[in-house]
Amino acid sequence: MVVSLHFSMEKKIATQLLREIARIENPYPADDVISCYRDFLRLRDYLPCYQFNPLVLQALIKLANDEWTSAKRISRLSLLLLIKQYMNVAKKDSIQDDDGRYKPHAYEFFLESRQLLFSLFRKLFEESKYIRSGQLAEAKIILNNCLINLSLTEMDEIWLCNNAAANELVLNRVLRYPTTSVVISRWAKENFYNDHFRSRRAEMLSWVIDQEPGFEIDKQTLIQDFEFLNKSDLKAIETYDDEMHANSILERELRDFLPKVKDVSTDWWETRKEGDVDLTAPELKLFRRSYSVPTIESDKIYPVAIPDFDKMRTVFLSSLDNNLKLTMIWGIAYSRIHNDLKTSLFKKYFCPDTLYSLIKIGKRTKNARLLKWLLEHA
């Protein structure tokens, strides 16, 4: 046991030293440095310290695809993590374009690499049985991050759109797609009034603006969005209350059989003492709003602030004109049209209540023309 521990410590120190040497020397890896899983095991601790070689990245992504259904004992999550880490080596060397988006500098990810990367993303939804269930959520987040700012094929865009309602990460990849897409704009128009996407109104709007820069949302749609979010939040609060009530019943009836709370703490529903049954509290998620949300005080203690729905409705309707202007401003900002056209469209929705948002957008997108116009008219 002592010998084994000593060997383990020596190996750990050697790995740290080799990583530091690689970080200092920053070598450029040979094109064929990754050809099999054994190569991956040999280099996974050091490759993020190497210079970026797009052929090496492609080999890694191909290896992960080829080995996905393998019966061999492999770590798919480690493969995905190294892909992300090595992509980050490339992303460190980036520049910002005229619309404020960060683009690769002095390299491009090959189309085949992007296709293979998206193939891995699909596998996490369609062939998830090959990865441990406890690792699936983390794997999806890793590949979601890898796909940020990458353009894909038309078939890949269609798959994203067809699965947007089923998963929040997929929806993000649709709505935050980096380039214009006829496929996504068509999907956005077809789903403009779909309840699944009402909470992402400005982003949905941006895809319509890509194809129709003069499009303007109507007030009735904003009111319908508002009432849908209210209905969903009220249902979430009701479900939370029901689950907390069920927990209270379980705690009373099964006190002698369930795990106990080790430390004295305050529960969201009632004060809990050491020795009480340890039941996991349910989650309460309410929609984020782009407008003011007055809250209420309640006898119950919730993990989040509870909106005063009646008061919020009064405030929202009285500010409907400004809410429309702000929705249009952020829809234009999220769109992929050129900054010059954006600036022209922004002017229509300028007023004292939208000034802060326009300044924020101008700074974020480095739109000097917009900021100069605001300087003259604010």
| Chain segment 42-79, per-residue pLDDT in tens | 999 999 999 999 999 999 999 999 999 999 999 999 99
> Which pLDDT belongs to residue 5?
46
pLDDT tens digits for 107-155? 568 899 999 999 999 999 999 999 999 999 999 999 999 999 999 999 9
**Distance from chain centroid for Cα 78:** 21
pLDDT tens digits for 300-347? 889 999 999 999 999 999 999 999 999 999 999 999 999 999 999 999
Sign of CA dihedral 81, 85, 87, 91: positive
Residues in Cβ contact with 112 at an 8 Å cutoff, skipping those fewer than 6 apart = 58
Q: What is the distance between the alpha carbons of residues 312 and 122, in angstroms, rounded to a whole number? A: 41
User: Averaged over 232-243, what is the pLDDT?
Assistant: 95
Residue 26 has pLDDT above 70, yes or no: yes
Model pTM score? 0.85
Residue 264 has pLDDT above 90, yes or no: no
Residue 261 has pLDDT above 60, yes or no: no
The HSE-up count of residue 346 (CA atoms within 13 Å, CB side) is: 29
> Which pLDDT belongs to residue 255?
66
Higher pLDDT, 205 or 14: 205
pLDDT band at 271 (very low <50, low <70, confident <90, very high): very low
> Which pLDDT belongs to residue 134?
95
User: Averaged over 240-269, what is the pLDDT?
Assistant: 68
Residue 268 has pLDDT above 50, yes or no: no
Between CA 329 and CA 333, with CA 331 as vertex, the angle to 5 degrees is: 70
Mapped onto helix, strand or coil, the DSSP state of residue 324 is: helix
pLDDT tens digits for 3-14? 454 556 677 888
Looking at every residue in the chain, the average pLDDT score rounds to 89
Within 256-345, strands assigned E span 265-266, 271-272, 295-296, 306-307
Percent of the chain with pLDDT over 70: 87
DSSP 160-221: HHHTTTT-HHHHHHHHT-SS--HHHHHHHHHTTT-GGGGGGHHHHHHHHHHH-TT----HHH
